[in-house]
A and B are shown apart, each in its own frame.
Chain A
Amino acid sequence: METDAKQLVNAQGESLTVEQAVANLQQREDTGLRYYAAWWLGRFRVTQTDAVDALIQALEDESDRAPDGGYPLRRNAARALGKLGQSRAVAPLIQCLDCDDYYVRESAAQALGALGDGQAIPALLNLLAGGVDAAVSVEGKPHLVQPYNAILEALGCLGAQSAVEDIRPFLSHPVAQVQNAAARAMYQLTGDDSYGQRLVERLQEPNLQLRRSAMMDLGAMGYLPAAEPIAATLAENSLKLIALQGVLEAHLQEVRFPDADLTPEAQRVLALMDDLL
C-alpha cells in the first residue's frame, strides 16, 4: 500500500488549534489526548515558546506508561522536537539517550540528528560503546540493545568525523539494516563512493523491506548515481518519488538552483520522476 500522510491526518479525526494542542499536552487526565497533541505539534511544526516548553517537559513524563514499561508520551515528544529546529531541546534530548525505554532513546537519537547540533556527538558515541560485539539483540524483544540505526544515521547527519573509526565496524554487523545505516553514515562522513554503491546493491535484494530502507537511505544521502537504480527497483512509486526528490534536491542545492540553470543531471532525475507519477 502506498504511504499517505494525508490519510493519517483524517484518520485521527479532530482538528485542533495550537492553543488547544498545548492545553491538551499540559493536562494530566487523558493520556490519549496528550499523546496526540505531542504528535500534532510536531506535524504542524508549531515552534511557539509554550508549545516547545510543554514538549520539553513531556520528555520527563512519568504518567503515560506502556505495558512494556515504556514512555509513549516521551517518545512522541522527542519525535516532535526533532521537527521543530529549536536548539534548546538539544540538552534535554541528550538526557533522553539514557532513558531505559529503547524507543525513547531511538526517537531522541533521530531528533538529535535532525537538529544538527554537534553537542550531541559524544553522547551518541557513548551508545556505540563495546562496538559490534556488544550490539546484540535483547531477548524477547524485536530490537537490539541500542537503536543503532538511529545512532549511526545521526552521527552521519551531524558530520561526526571523529566517529568514523567507531562506525566502520558496523558495516559488517549481522543485521542488514544496521549495515545500511553504517554505509550511509560512512558516505556522509568520507564522501567515498564505495559506500553509496553498497546501498545501490541493496536495491536488488529479494526482501522488499530492505529495498525500501536502502532507497530511503540513498534519498536522504542525496546520492545522484542511485537515481536510475531507484527508479528501476521493485517498490511503491510513492517511496521512489520521495527518494528521488531527496537525490534531486541535494543536487539542486549543490549547483545553487534556482539561481543557476537546470543541469542535464537534474533533467535526468526529473524525467525518471515523471514516469513514476
Chain B
Amino acid sequence: MVAAVGRLAAQQHPEAIPTLIRVLGYNNPGAAVAAVDGLVALGEAAVPALLEELDGYNYGARAWAIRALSLIGDPRALDILLETATGDFALSVRRAAAKGLGYLNWKLLPSGQVAEAQVQSLKALIQGTEDPEWVVRYAAVVGLQGLALAIHETPCTEDFTTIQQQLQRVVQQDNALAVQARAKWALTTLADVASSR
C-alpha cells in the first residue's frame, strides 16, 4: 500500500486529494507519511479539503491532517491551528499545530490582518511552552523560532524581544533537557539574525 500511495502522491493531481486524505485514517504510518508528502506537494489546492475533512473522531488521522496543513503553511488554517495547538486532547495534534503556527506563509494574508494573526499565534505558542508534554513544548519552541524570524521582517520588533525572553525562560526552567537544548538553539539562531540586521 505504501508504494501505491507513493505513486498516487507523485502524480500531484488535485483529484487524488480525497483519496490521500482517506489514507491518513488507515493507521499505517508508512502510507500516511507518503500521503502527507503528496498533500504538501499539492499545497494550497489541498487546503480546503483538508480543513473540511478534519476527522473529529480519529485522532491519528487528525494529527496527520494537521501536520499536512502545518507543512503547507496556508494561513486559512490559522483558526484550526490556534484551536488545536492548545485545546486538542491528543499530544500528537497539539505538537503538529504548534510547529505550524510558527511557519505560516503570512504573505498570503491581507496586510491589514497580519499583525493581529501573529499576536494570536504568539499567545498560543507561549501557552504551548507550558504544555504538560515535553514534545509539545519542544514544538512550541520551534514555532516561536519560526514566528520570530517572520516578525523580524516587519518594522515592529517588540514581539521579537518577547519571544527571546520566553525562550530564555524555557532554557532556564524546562525540566526536559531536549526542550532546553532546542530553546538554546533557537536563541542562538535569533541572535545571529538580530546581529545581521
Query: Using a CB–CB distance below 8 Å, which chain A residues touch chain B?
Result: 1-2, 4-7, 10, 208, 234-238, 241-242, 245, 248-249, 252-253, 257-258, 262, 266-267, 270, 273-274, 277
CB <8 Å contact, B59 and A4: yes
A274 cross-chain contacts in B, Cβ below 8 A: 99, 142
Q: How far is the CB of B64 from chain A (nearest CB, A)?
A: 9
| Nearest A-chain residue to B131, judged by Cβ | A6
**Complex CA distance for A262 and B70, rounded to whole angstroms:** 27
Task: Check: B148 CB closer than 8 A to any chain A CB.
Answer: no
A262 cross-chain contacts in B, Cβ below 8 A: 181, 184-185, 188
B95 cross-chain contacts in A, Cβ below 8 A: 277
With known contacts A234-B2, A258-B171, A277-B138, A266–B181 Cβ distance under 8 A: yes
User: What 1/0 flags go to B9-25 for Cβ under 8 Å of A?
Assistant: 00000000000000000
A235 cross-chain contacts in B, Cβ below 8 A: 29
A257 cross-chain contacts in B, Cβ below 8 A: 177, 180-181, 184
Query: Using a CB–CB distance below 8 Å, which chain B residues touch chain A?
Result: 2, 27, 29-30, 33, 59-60, 63, 67, 70, 89-92, 95-96, 98-99, 132-135, 138-139, 142, 171, 176-178, 180-182, 184-185, 188
Cβ 8 A contact of B89, one of A6, A208, A270: A6
Q: How far is the CB of A90 from chain B (nearest CB, A)?
A: 26
CB <8 Å contact, B134 and A245: yes
CB <8 Å contact, B91 and A4: yes
The 8 closest A-B pairs by CB, nearest first: A277-B99, A1-B60, A234-B30, A2-B92, A249-B177, A277-B139, A236-B29, A245-B178
**Complex CA distance for A252 and B183, rounded to whole angstroms:** 14
Given contacts A2-B92, A6-B133, A237-B92, 16 further A-B contacts (CB under 8 A): A5-B133, A10-B89, A208-B29, A234-B33, A245-B135, A248-B177, A249-B177, A252-B181, A257-B177, A258-B171, A258-B177, A262-B188, A266-B185, A274-B142, A277-B67, A277-B98
A253 cross-chain contacts in B, Cβ below 8 A: 177
Q: How far is the CB of B185 from chain A (nearest CB, A)?
A: 6
Q: How far is the CB of B29 from chain A (nearest CB, A)?
A: 5
Q: How far is the CB of B129 from chain A (nearest CB, A)?
A: 14
With known contacts A234-B2, A245-B134, A277-B138, A1–B89 Cβ distance under 8 A: no
A245 cross-chain contacts in B, Cβ below 8 A: 134-135, 176, 178
CB <8 Å contact, B185 and A270: yes
Cβ 8 A contact of B90, one of A7, A241, A242, A249: A7
With known contacts A262-B184, A273-B138, A7–B178 Cβ distance under 8 A: no
Q: How far is the CB of B168 from chain A (nearest CB, A)?
A: 12
A237 cross-chain contacts in B, Cβ below 8 A: 29, 67, 92
B67 cross-chain contacts in A, Cβ below 8 A: 237, 277
Cβ 8 A contact of B181, one of A4, A10, A248: A248
| Nearest B-chain residue to A246, judged by Cβ | B178
CB <8 Å contact, A7 and B59: yes
**Complex CA distance for A267 and B185, rounded to whole angstroms:** 8
**Complex CA distance for A257 and B30, rounded to whole angstroms:** 34
A10 cross-chain contacts in B, Cβ below 8 A: 89
A241 cross-chain contacts in B, Cβ below 8 A: 135, 138
A248 cross-chain contacts in B, Cβ below 8 A: 177-178, 181
**Complex CA distance for A1 and B63, rounded to whole angstroms:** 10
**Complex CA distance for A169 and B182, rounded to whole angstroms:** 41
**Complex CA distance for A7 and B90, rounded to whole angstroms:** 7
CB <8 Å contact, B178 and A4: no
